[in-house]
Amino acid sequence: MLQQQRGRVGEFLGGTRAILPLIVALVPIGLVFGAVSATKGLSALEAVLMSALVFAGGSQFVAMDIWTHPASWSAVAFAALLVNMRHVLMGASIGTKMASFKGVRKYIAVLFLADEIWAVSEFKAGRDRLTPLWFAGVAAPFYAAWVGSTLAGAMLGAFLGDPAVIGLDFAFPAVFVVLVMGFWKGRETGAVLIASGATAVLVQHFVPGVWYIAAGALVGLVAALWSGRAGTVAA
Amino acid sequence: MTLDLHTLLAILAMAAATVFTRLSGLLLVRHVGMDDGMRSAIEAIPPAVLMAVIAPTAFATGWAETIACLVTALAARRLPMLASVALGVLTVALLRAAGL
């Protein structure tokens, strides 16, 4: 009994260990989000509510970019839909790896599908079995860190200064670069990366807003399908 | 500690949009048959999404960011994640300080 309990705790902590470096990278981003929201006139309570209920950093920053007074719910909701469209793909991918999530657990789990949580879970599923407890060990501290650092940022506000000076704004892209390297599986991956990257850069240059994320991801997928088919024909 | 009604509405609308995107992927694969093409497409999702998010920073922001991304990517082949990220952040800070 005790041993079983220890095993369960160990599984939860295994998830926490996997997400820990990403939490270190997340906290400065949360602080910045809190501070930016304060400059846009949001109260600390409002900033914390947004982080707790939306829990999707990219769309929250975009919302701050286009924030108006009074707030336009349709504008920020549409922006969130667009920025987070990648979650449809992410959910579709991770959903196929959640065989041990019973009943409603799968649906509860995907509600916490922030980029970082999703990425470490994909990593785990590629090497081992993804379990609900391990996932909880990833999601719970990450969620707490996002909401907590938002609160701290909103209260400290202007004291924080410009994060670009010490390069902290680069922590998030740097994490993604590391993750991309981890998903390398050979030449097909190269085709996907080139297609997705080139499309994203082009679309971002010519189309205002955040269409580039959805566009890049979709063209990357098409490249995968196309190179997969070409491989079948050649074989 | 104030809570403006318009702000609350905006937050709830954003939350609804986000929940919709997170759930619909799961519902989508339940109703789509799994063949080889589908499987290889799903396997390509992680790198395709990650690349689309970072590409403008990596290739179209400035030399400091491009070089720092390259340094981070090379470091990731040998070093653990936190060390690679720290190296990337340090690189971008130094290059920006140097005026790049």
Size of interface A-B (CB pairs under 8 A): 298
A234 pLDDT higher than 60: no
> How confident is the model over A136-163, as pLDDT tens digits?
999 999 999 999 999 999 998 756 666 6
B62 pLDDT higher than 50: yes
Which of the residue ranges A94-98, A125-129, A166-170, B8-12 would you say has the lowest mean pLDDT?
A: A166-170
A190 touching chain B per CB within 8 A:
no
For residue A183, give the nearest of B46, B81, B89 by CB distance: B46
Rounded CA Rg of chain B: 20
Q: Which two tokens stand for residue B77?
A: 């082949």
pLDDT given for residue B23 in this prediction: 95
Cα separations in angstroms, A174 against A70, A82, A102, A170, B74? 35, 23, 35, 6, 11
> How confident is the model over A14-69, as pLDDT tens digits?
999 999 988 988 888 888 889 888 888 899 999 999 999 999 988 898 888 778 88
Is residue A215 within a helix (H) or strand (E), and if so which, with residue range? Answer: helix A211-234
DSSP state of B77: T
pLDDT given for residue A113 in this prediction: 95
Chain A residues within 8 A of B28 when measuring between CB atoms:
88, 91-92
pLDDT given for residue B80 in this prediction: 81
A174 pLDDT higher than 90: no
CB within 8 Å of A117: residues ≥ 6 apart: A19, A135, A138, A139, A142
Residue to substitute from B3, B5, B7, B91, interface A, most A β-carbons within 10 A = B7
> How confident is the model over A59-116, as pLDDT tens digits?
898 888 778 888 888 888 988 888 888 899 899 999 999 999 998 999 999 999 998 9
Query: Could you give the CA distance from residue B84 to residue B76 in angstroms, rounded to a whole number?
Result: 6
For residue B16, give the nearest of A77, A87, A168 by CB distance: A77
Which of the residue ranges A2-11, B72-81, B84-93 would you say has the lowest mean pLDDT?
A: A2-11
Å between B31 CA and nearest CA of chain A? 11
A175 versus B67: the higher-pLDDT residue is: B67
User: Across residues A151-178, what is the average pLDDT?
Assistant: 77
Q: Residue A37 phi/psi, 5° resolution?
A: -65, -35
Å between A13 CA and nearest CA of chain B? 18
B88 pLDDT higher than 70: yes
- For residues B30 and B62, the answer to whether their CB atoms sit within 8 Å is no
pTM across the whole model: 0.77
DSSP state of B31: S
User: Across residues B37-47, what is the average pLDDT?
Assistant: 78
A186 pLDDT higher than 70: yes
Q: Which two tokens stand for residue B27?
A: 């519902």
> How confident is the model over A205-224, as pLDDT tens digits?
998 877 888 899 899 989 98
Query: Could you give the CA distance from residue B49 to residue A43 in angstroms, rounded to a whole number?
Result: 33
For residue B18, give the nearest of A59, A107, A221 by CB distance: A59
CB within 8 Å of A88: residues ≥ 6 apart: B21, B24, B25, B28
Domain spans in chain A, listed from the N-terminal domain onward = 2-183, 184-235
> How confident is the model over B4-20, as pLDDT tens digits?
999 999 999 999 999 99
pLDDT given for residue A235 in this prediction: 42
For residue A84, give the nearest of B17, B34, B59 by CB distance: B17
Å between B78 CA and nearest CA of chain A? 11
Contact at CB, A93 and B69, closer than 8 angstroms: no
Q: What is the dihedral of CA A198, B39, B37, A193, to 10 degrees?
A: 10
Give residues 72 to 111 of A whose Cβ lies within 8 Å of B. Answer: 72-74, 76-78, 80-81, 84-96, 106-107, 110-111
Å between B40 CA and nearest CA of chain A? 7
Query: Could you give the CA distance from residue A176 to residue A25 in angstroms, rounded to a whole number?
Result: 11
Q: B36-60 and A86-95 are packed helices; what angle lies between their axes, rounded to 10 degrees?
A: 140
Contact at CB, A60 and B58, closer than 8 angstroms: no
Residue to substitute from A17, A177, A189, A232, interface B, most B β-carbons within 10 A = A177
Chain A residues within 8 A of B44 when measuring between CB atoms:
188-189, 192, 220-221, 223-225
- For residues B51 and A189, the answer to whether their CB atoms sit within 8 Å is no
The pLDDT mean for chain B works out to 89
Å between B4 CA and nearest CA of chain A? 8
Query: Could you give the CA distance from residue A126 to residue A210 in angstroms, rounded to a whole number?
Result: 30
A5 versus B2: the higher-pLDDT residue is: B2
Q: ∠ at Cα A142 (A74, A119), nearest 5°?
A: 80
Tell me the ipTM for this assembly: 0.81
pLDDT given for residue A223 in this prediction: 92
Cα separations in angstroms, B72 against A172, A180, A233? 12, 11, 37
User: Across residues A111-132, what is the average pLDDT?
Assistant: 92
From the CB of residue A70, how many other CB atoms can be counted at a distance below 10 Å? 11
Reference A87, options A109, A61, A65, A67; nearest CA is A109
